[in-house]
Each structure stands twice: as C-alpha cells, then as structure tokens.
Amino acid sequence: MNRATRRRLERAGIAPEDLESIYVRAKKEGIKDAVEGFSIATAMVLRDNWGFGRVRLERFLRQVGEMFEDMENGYLSIDDCKEALTKECNIEFD
C-alpha cells in the first residue's frame, strides 16, 4: 500500500493494522467458503452417483476435515498429496 492510500485510510479512521486485520479475516472467510463449496459439491456427487448415505458422507467429510487440519498444522502438505496421487494413482494435478 502506498503512502497516499495510507493517508486516505487514516483520514477515514482506518488504521493500517485494522486494514491488515480485515484482510486476514476476509482471506480466511474466502478459504472457508471455497472449502465448504467444494465439500458440498463432493458430497452431492458421492450421494447422487455413488450411493453414499448420511453415515458414509459424515465419515468422509470428517476425514477430509482431519486432512485439512493436518495440512494446517504442517504434518502434511498439498505437494505431498499431489506426489502420492501421481505416484500411486497416475493422477496429475496442475
């Protein structure tokens, strides 16, 4: 952010640290919304095309959530998952 933008924000009563907080919160909300949308679409496909019911869908979504937690905590990375899927299933992700 340049100097003029910072001054405009300060005149509007928004401190730079407030702006950073807003940015971080919006980024987290965007990621949460994207993950939720993908999870819902995945659950619908599993239900409609593969016959998953409530129990298997809940188990699947819980396990996906656990995997995201492992990624968030640094136990696993997206690159690790890509590599495993490429090696074991011959599936490529760009």
Please report, for the chain, the start and end positions of each structural domain, with discontinuous segments joined by +: 1-52, 53-94
Note the pLDDT tens digit of each residue in 35-82. 899 999 999 999 999 999 999 999 999 999 999 899 989 999 999 999
Query: Is the confidence at residue 21, as pLDDT, over 90?
Result: no
Q: What is the pLDDT at residue 35?
A: 87
**For the chain, what's the residue count?**
94
Query: Is the confidence at residue 1, as pLDDT, over 80?
Result: no
Task: Say what the pTM is.
Answer: 0.69
Q: What is the pLDDT at residue 42?
A: 96
> Is residue 23 very low, low, confident or very high in pLDDT (cuts 50, 70, 90)?
confident
Please give the Cα distance from 94 to 91 (Å, whole number). 10
